[in-house]
Amino acid sequence: MNSNQWDRRQFLRTAAFSATPLLMRGTPAPPASPSSRMIGLQIGSVSFVDEGTEQVLDIVQQKGAVNTLFLAVFTYGRGIAGRQVPGQPLPDHGKQEYDLNFHGGNFATPHPQFYKNTILKETRAPDHGNLDILETVLPAARKRGIKTICWLEDVFRADIPNIGKLQEVDLHGKNATTLCFNNPDYRGFLTGLVEDYATSYEIDGLMWGSERQGALSNSLGAMHGGLHSDPGRVTCFCQFCQTKARARGINVERAKQGFLELEKFVRAGRAGHRPVDGYYVTFWRILLNYPEIAAWEMLWTDSLRETYAAIYKAVKSAKANVPVGWHIWHNNSFNPIYRAEQDLQVLSQYSDFLKMVMYHNCAGERLAGYIDSVSQTIYGDTPKQLLLDFEYSVMNYKERSYAEIPFTGLSSDYVFRETKRAMDGIAGKPTLIWPGIDIDIPTATNHSRCTPQGTKDAVLAAFHAGAPGVILSRKYSEMKLANLQGAGDAVRQLSSAS
């Protein structure tokens, strides 16, 4: 590692906490010193192509005080790559038009020797011709002392050659658009991909993220946007998963029966048919009758964790000093079941850092969306406001009312509390917590929007709670410069105060 790369010894110093019992942690982290703070920014290749590498680096350094790029190098999703999402206002920089022909894939150069253990080989992103974004950005960034972390996500499209053989299989045996972590070709692809990045480029780290959860939570629609989830399309029930389940002692047929019962429960709830014994009780009846549902949920979660471990190992084998970490989905703030599955002490075994998503502004409509969904399933007995109050209590933050939050977003106190919780949760481990900060993540028309002050407050809250870094999210191409400046102002304020 050169001088621009992280000094892990320094990180370990900031993370030297006393050991605490597995479930009860609470020792807060000492605050990071201003000089060691990681100020990351997620950015896609199109921004460099549209605005010029040097100009973009100038802007993000000057306005956002950014010292680390999280460069979207692999994704088929336009949440972290591409220009602004069509239909959303274009920001005050970059090309003033939408990239309606966005495709996605690997924005660097796939080197075939790393993809021998997978049938998934043709993933080169065609969006920018032969441009290799890592080759383009790495030297320019390094020259300025800016680090570059590869940022990859678990989002694929349906027309990639051979993708059908890697896709998950739903409850009724149909292919899903998502890929299965237990499919050797997907595992082989992911480990090959990260090995390629770590070996072929002088990167400063790697972050991968999967914004998905298991069949139980998906069936219940326990996530923002879950109102429209289909309990019959939950995953994964492919042969690889079934084999793995049997090896774990799970009765596959009973698991399927259980999920079919759950599907009926959810469909009835969504149709407004209240169970005689109530939603919550009936859900528990199904779970108690079919504990295999919980076992299957954990099978899925463990498979994701094993993927983390495999990626971690692959990168470390290629370059031991390249930090590896994970983007943890925003659902961590909404769904207690998903949060239960994000045991930071377990994740720390293969995580140098964790980007914990706590997007304060879009969280308002997302939380309301979560409430909308689960108020028809597991929590169908409770009016939405009462359910939101319950949610605030179990998730340990308190914000505005159900009617207000889509129009106000959540406050910086939410960011503070979620950061502190994560810091407490990782206590005793060297893993770094980097809160993901919302800068202009699109929301519905008329819903709340980010402001410079709100952004500044969110960043300050993260640092006040002890975070050693932040990641400005989701992508530079959707951020207004004034809001980016708000984040930078917070960093500068903290630096000048110290």
Contacting positions for another protein (CB under 8 A): 21, 23-26, 249, 251, 276-282, 284-285, 287-289, 291-292, 294-295, 297-298, 301, 336-337, 339-341, 343, 381-383, 386, 389-390, 393-396, 421, 424-425, 427
Residue for token digits 């000089």? Answer: 35
Taken in order 236, 239, 243, 244, the sign of the CA dihedral is negative
CA-only gyration radius of the chain, Å: 22
- Minimum Å gap between C-beta 85 and another protein is 32
In the complex with another protein, the residue whose CB is nearer, 161 or 383, is 383
Nearest to 195 by CA among 108, 104, 79: 108
- Minimum Å gap between C-beta 278 and another protein is 5
In the complex with another protein, the residue whose CB is nearer, 339 or 492, is 339
- Minimum Å gap between C-beta 109 and another protein is 41
Q: Which residue type occupies 350?
A: Y
In the complex with another protein, the residue whose CB is nearer, 287 or 405, is 287
Q: 335: exposed, middle or buried (C-beta count within 10 Å: 0-12, 13-18, 19+)?
A: buried
As separate numbers, helices (DSSP H) first and strands (DSSP E) second, the chain gives 18, 11
- Minimum Å gap between C-beta 364 and another protein is 21
| Dist. CA 124–CA 101, nearest whole Å | 15
Question: How far is CA 320 from its chain centroid?
Answer: 24
**Cis-peptide into 144, omega within 30 deg:** no
Angle at alpha carbon of residue 302, lines to 297 and 305, rounded to 5°: 135
Which contiguous run of DSSP H or E holds residue 470?
Answer: strand 469-473
Tokens read off for 488: 């930078």
Angle at alpha carbon of residue 225, lines to 224 and 231, rounded to 5°: 110
Residue 254, phi then psi, degrees to nearest 5 = -65, -35
In the complex with another protein, the residue whose CB is nearer, 148 or 182, is 182
Q: Which residues make Cβ contacts (< 8 Å) with residue 396, sequence separation at least 6? A: 417, 421
- Minimum Å gap between C-beta 270 and another protein is 18
In the complex with another protein, the residue whose CB is nearer, 86 or 383, is 383
Three-class DSSP category at 73: strand
- Minimum Å gap between C-beta 340 and another protein is 4
In the complex with another protein, the residue whose CB is nearer, 141 or 423, is 423
In the complex with another protein, the residue whose CB is nearer, 74 or 279, is 279
In the complex with another protein, the residue whose CB is nearer, 386 or 444, is 386
Give yes or no for a contact between 385 and 401, defined as CB atoms under 8 angstroms apart.
yes
In the complex with another protein, the residue whose CB is nearer, 100 or 276, is 276
| Dist. CA 435–CA 330, nearest whole Å | 11
Three-class DSSP category at 331: helix
**Cis-peptide into 236, omega within 30 deg:** yes
- Minimum Å gap between C-beta 263 and another protein is 18
- Minimum Å gap between C-beta 250 and another protein is 9
Which contiguous run of DSSP H or E holds residue 206?
Answer: strand 205-209
In the complex with another protein, the residue whose CB is nearer, 276 or 497, is 276
- Minimum Å gap between C-beta 38 and another protein is 23
